[in-house]
Amino acid sequence: MPRTLVRDALNATAPSDAIFLQGWVRTRRDAKAFSFIELNDGSSLKGLQVIVDATLPDYPQVGRASTGASVEVQGRLVASKGQGQQWEVVAEKFTVLGEADATYPLQKKGHSLEFLREIAHLRPRSNLFGAVFRVRSRLAYAVHQFFQEKQFFYVHTPIITASDAEGAGEMFRVTTLPLGNPPKTEQGEVDHTQDFFGRKTFLTVSGQLEGEIFATALSNIYTFGPTFRAENSHTSRHAAEFWMIEPEIAFCDLAGDMALAEEFVKYLIRDAREHCAADLEFFSKFVDKELLTRLDFVLERPFQRCSYTDAIAILTQNGKTWEHPVAWGDNLQSEHERYLTEEHFKCPVTVYNYPRAIKAFYMRVNEGDAPGRQTVAAMDLLVPGIGEIIGGSQREERMELLKEGMALHHLSEKDYWWYLDLRRYGTVPHAGFGLGFERMLMFVTGVANIRDVIPFARTPGTAEF
RNA sequence: UGCCUGGUAGCUCAGUGGUAGAGCAGGUGACUGUUAAUCACUUGGUCGUAGGUUCGAUCCCUACCCGGGCAGCCA
């Protein structure tokens, strides 16, 4: 008999005389004449109640069906006699496949997130993490759906890269040279010409530069893959390995870029709201009471836009005192970003046109700025509770200005010869952004720590699983 | 990397300069169309590690290890 998923059984429209289920026991309640077993197979938040009558030949097995045990059940799907569920299964055959003894760490009551991180191999079996990873799967699908519907092409940019100075952060080195005794040059430095790739290589911090290659060929592309930052960050919103979505659009300016970013964020929220309703309600109940209100509010309301210069004016004219001073030319600090999105605008806000000096070399220089106030066409999308969720820009398509930017950042034109070629041959205005997938998940689920929205968190000092 | 905070039973936590307690989990029994079931009884701890102060340290001090938060860096 084919297996029925719990999710489908719960959504049944009619009873069934024959149904077969497999899954794990969440809890068991024994009565004198029968036992109740809540069966969960991960297909949905809610489990299915199974009744095993004491007269059943298989009944002795029920004693071994403790929380965490794997079981299979054959029986009848019937309307429940009790409150709390529409359907339940009356078992005719009941088998324990794998026991879970008293050392099984997951209990019926709530655990701390910190404890669950220590058992990352079992936490997907909890309500919370089951829900998180179902939403994660759905949103990954929605990412592709959004861009594919818009006829963007999915490009696989390399994980291993030789570009080492995009300004996105510290990088992990990739090498096969012996650690203790690497070959040296005459100058006594490690000789990377003898390394696997014949040069220094790293794990990528961004697929953007390679994305630009494809955008200037296929017009509209996106990447969606893992990226790596070797920053020693100890915060709830940084991980050393995370997934990023980076669209790159040819013949597009900053305004188009911002519009796409805002549409994308709303699309993902709407998709989760529609397809992960039960899981989101669970988060709203147990993780963040304001979640659904906030998500709906974000869907209904247009995102605000605010130039960097206006943002500085808002921050300096409201009479607040800041831990970090606010001055034109300085980066916006977390407290400033959070004030803008959480208190001033009270909704997602896109800040654009940042000072050139604090932004990356490839960002497009704006025209008509006041002297000493040179800006670039960069934008950050800020959301309440998290801060920056998207960073993007129009790219500098003019060769001379791009070279000038590289000089400002002390980058060698020789190392970026292929990137400069994109301007040398058929250059076009283009723009793109990066969305941190985990940060988006934090926003959609209300889960406050990035370690809890990624299956296996990689943070400084931690890579157990 | 800096600052802050925590480490006591399997889990969540309380507690005191005189070597420890609760709830849940586990065990036993009772009861019940139950649903984080309920009730009674019960097992369970070198109080993170190493030093120091003290007659005596889980408590005070120092170092280290580990967790968490904030900041910077960013997504």
Q: How far apart are CA A63 and CA A296, in angstroms?
A: 46
**Which residues, at least 6 apart from A55, have a Cβ–Cβ distance to it below 8 Å?**
A33
Whole-number Å distance, CA A462 to C1' B48? 18
Rounded-to-integer distance, Cα A210 and Cα A48, Å: 48
Q: Which fold has domain A6-98?
A: OB fold (Dihydrolipoamide Acetyltransferase, E2P) (2.40.50)
Distance separating alpha carbons of residues A426 and A56, to the nearest angstrom = 77
Residue nearest to nucleotide B72 (CA to C1'): A233
Q: What is the pTM of this model?
A: 0.94
Q: What is the pLDDT of residues A371-380, one digit of tens each?
A: 889 999 999 9
Pair A385, A440: CB distance under 8 Å? no
Q: What is the pLDDT of residues A382-433, one digit of tens each?
A: 998 888 999 999 999 999 999 999 999 888 899 899 999 999 999 999 999 9
Q: What CA–CA distance (Å, rounded) separates A324 from A175?
A: 40
Per-residue pLDDT at A167 = 63
Residue A299 CB contacts under 8 Å (≥ 6 apart), including other chains: A266, A269, A270, A273
Rounded mean pLDDT, A282-311: 92
* pLDDT tens per residue across span A402-414: 999 999 988 889 9
Residue A211 CA: distances (Å) to CA of A220, A229, A346, A427, A433: 10, 19, 33, 14, 11
Q: Can you give the pLDDT at residue A169?
A: 74
The pLDDT of residue A422 is 97
Q: Strand runs (DSSP E) across A341-429, as ranges?
A: 349-355, 375-383, 387-395
A111 CA – B59 C1', rounded, Å: 28
Covered bases, chain B (protein CB within 7 Å): 1-3, 10-13, 24-27, 31-37, 66-75
In this predicted structure, the answer to whether residue A339 has a pLDDT above a threshold of 80 is: yes
**Residue A64: what pLDDT?**
87
Which protein residue lies nearest to nucleotide B75, measured between its Cα and the C1' atom? A436
Q: How far apart are CA A377 and CA A363, in angstroms?
A: 6
d(CA A119, CA A20): 30
Question: Which nucleotide's C1' sits nearest to the alpha carbon of A438?
Answer: B75
Res. A165 pLDDT band, cuts 50 70 90: low
Rounded Cα distance, A6 and A48, in Å: 6
Instruction: Give start-end residues of each CATH 3.30.930.10 domain in chain A.
Output: 124-170+205-452
Complex confidence, ipTM: 0.88
As a rounded value in angstroms, the CA-to-C1' distance for A42 and B10 is 25
- For residue A108, the model assigns a pLDDT of 75
pLDDT, one tens digit per residue, over A118-145 is: 999 999 999 999 999 999 999 999 999 9
- Residues A9-62 pLDDT 10s: 999 999 999 999 999 999 888 888 889 999 999 999 999 999 999 889 998 888
The CA–C1' separation of A205 and B55, in angstroms, is 62
Nearest to A362 by CA among A435, A306, A309, A429: A429
Looking at every residue in chain A, the average pLDDT score rounds to 93
Q: Are A25 and A61 in contact (CB under 8 A)?
A: no
Q: Where do you find CATH 2.40.50.140 in chain A?
A: 6-98
- Domain spanning A124-170+205-452 has what CATH number? 3.30.930.10
Q: Where are the beta strands (DSSP E) in A273-386?
A: 304-307, 349-355, 375-383
In whole angstroms, B75 C1' to A430 CA is 20
- Residue showing tokens 């040279």: A177
Which nucleotide's C1' atom has the smallest distance to the CA of A242? Answer: B75
Residue A342 has pLDDT above 80, yes or no: yes
